[in-house]
Amino acid sequence: MWSQLIRRSWEENRLFSVLLELTYRCNWDCAFCYNDLGLRGTPLSLGQYFDLLDELRELGVLNLVLTGGEPLAHPEFLEIGERAREGGFVIRLKSNAHALRGRLAREVKERVDPFVVEVSLHGATAEVHDRQTRVPGSFERLLANLAELRSLGFRLKMNSVLTIWNQHQIADMFALADRLGVPLQIEPEVSPRDDGDRSPLDLSPTQEGIRELFSIVAERTRAAAPSPAGRAGEAAAGGAEPIAEQASTDRTEVDAVPRKHCGAGSSAVAIDPFGNVYPCVQWRRAAGNLHHRPLAEIWRRSPVLEEVRELTVEVTRRLDGLGADVARRMAFCPGAAEQAGGDPLAVYPAARQRVAAHRAVERPAVRSLPIVGVGSAGQPSVAKAPGA
């Protein structure tokens, strides 16, 4: 139901999810952070945020991601968050949680009441985590704050980025997450900085690291999978459906293959602290600026968004040519592709790396099948990928 709704909003170009980067200020200093701290402009005022939230409600937006930088570092975070709650948005707060304790934590719960708080975990030990955040004590403080947030009744999730520094702790990070009772998602790809600077990539994980991540995730997924009988029982029960953990624009969330690869510019936009509107947090082609034009107008008239919508259809076509399995494993992102080489349709190194890592993990299983030729038939060469 949820996935169908999202898919329909892609097809109908109906804005459903908006990500607000409230500020690029931050109390951590992550070595690999993608934020462009050199970007200049006039920050949106509180009044402009209020108008924007009203407009988003009118447009039918339900999912609202509040992020940054560190969103809690915005001096008017609580006012903006409270207005968003009053506007009936389902709010996802992405925060490093360093300041989310004591009175602020209670105020966020009472005034903003987010659907979920997503925090960042960068290692299983203080040594690794703090090396990445460049703030001594940030690991211990995160663990203490998570316990407090939990007792306040927040729904929690942890996100992590796999790097050369933490890739030896993947299993330990999952074990820590299990002990905390908080789901953990590890992103295998370090992105360049939003201004194109590739220095964050110096911390990219190795192929072995990515492979280990996929292997551990596959094992955990297998272990957690309900029995077919259990699943049938759930389906038969009908009624309400669990909401997707992330208000994602990712194609993997929809159950039938849609025309568009993702919802970038079709059901979602990202807005930076200076009012620049992008099709997605990762596809940084400015489609307009809220200081000059209201969002509804940008949404309806921006040639950039129109082109992006067409490109997401073209991505599907190209990926279909590679075969469904390769496309799925690649987790292709046209925004990342554009950033990597200027062409949103070209397969980029990190996508190729993912396919290779998946294959390495899956190969033993395929080999053990008593069927000749499955491995090659289902896995066309990545070298045939467009732009490869």
Partner 1 sequence: MNQDQSTHGSSTAEASTAAHPRLGADVRYRRLAGETVVVRQQAGEVLVLDEIGGRILEWVDRGVMQGRGLGHLIASLQQEFDVSSQQLEADVREFLHQLQDAGVLEPRREARRGDVEEPPGAPQGGER
Ligand X SMILES: C[S@@+](CC[C@H](N)C(=O)[O-])C[C@H]1O[C@@H](n2cnc3c(N)ncnc32)[C@H](O)[C@@H]1O
Among 243, 296, 324, 377, binds partner 1 (CB under 8 A): 243
R_g (Cα) of the chain, nearest Å? 21
Q: Select the span of 32-40, 100-108, 210-218, 258-266 touching ligand X (CB under 6 A).
A: 32-40
Indicate whether 302 belongs to the interface with ligand SF4 (CB under 6 A).
no
Nearest alpha carbon to residue 14 among 269, 358, 333: 269
Terminal Cα-to-Cα distance of the chain (whole angstroms): 36
Omega before residue 137 within 30° of 0, cis: no
Least Cβ distance, residue 160 to ligand X (angstroms): 7
Indicate whether 240 belongs to the interface with partner 1 (CB under 8 A).
yes
Contact characters 69-98, partner 1, x per CB under 8 A: ----------------xxxxxx--------
The DSSP H or E segment spanning 71 is none
Indicate whether 165 belongs to the interface with ligand SF4 (CB under 6 A).
no
- In the region spanning residues 133 to 172, those forming contacts with partner 1, defined by CB under 8 A, are 155
Nearest alpha carbon to residue 184 among 105, 125, 141, 120: 120
Least Cβ distance, residue 381 to ligand X (angstroms): 28
Nearer to ligand X, 203 or 347 (CB): 203
Residue 264 DSSP one-character state? B
- Which pair of structure tokens corresponds to residue 204? 């990219």
Indicate whether 35 belongs to the interface with ligand SF4 (CB under 6 A).
yes
- Amino acid symbol at 174: F
Tokens 């964050």 belong to residue: 200
Total Cβ atoms within 10 A of residue 376: 10
Indicate whether 69 belongs to the interface with ligand SF4 (CB under 6 A).
yes
Nearer to ligand SF4, 21 or 362 (CB): 21
Asked if residues 388 and 352 have their Cβ atoms less than 8 Å apart, the reply is yes
Indicate whether 96 belongs to the interface with ligand SF4 (CB under 6 A).
yes
**Helices 170-180 and 138-151, axial angle in degrees (round to 10):** 30
Nearer to ligand SF4, 138 or 316 (CB): 138
Nearer to partner 1, 6 or 186 (CB): 6
Task: Give CA–CA dist 268/278, Å, rounded.
Answer: 9
Which segments of 14-108 are extended strands (E)?
17-21, 63-67, 90-95
Task: Give CA–CA dist 144/98, Å, rounded.
Answer: 10
Among 178, 241, 310, 343, binds partner 1 (CB under 8 A): 241
Total Cβ atoms within 10 A of residue 46: 14
Name which of partner 1, ligand SF4, ligand X, none residue 197 binds, using a CB cut-off of 5 to 8 Å depending on partner kind: none
Residue ranges that bind ligand SF4, judged by CB under 6 A:
26, 28-30, 33, 35, 68-70, 96, 120
Residue ranges that bind partner 1, judged by CB under 8 A:
1-2, 5, 12, 14, 57-58, 60-62, 85-90, 113, 115, 155, 239-243
Residue ranges that bind ligand X, judged by CB under 6 A:
26, 30, 32-35, 67-68, 70, 94-96, 120, 159, 161, 187, 190-191, 200
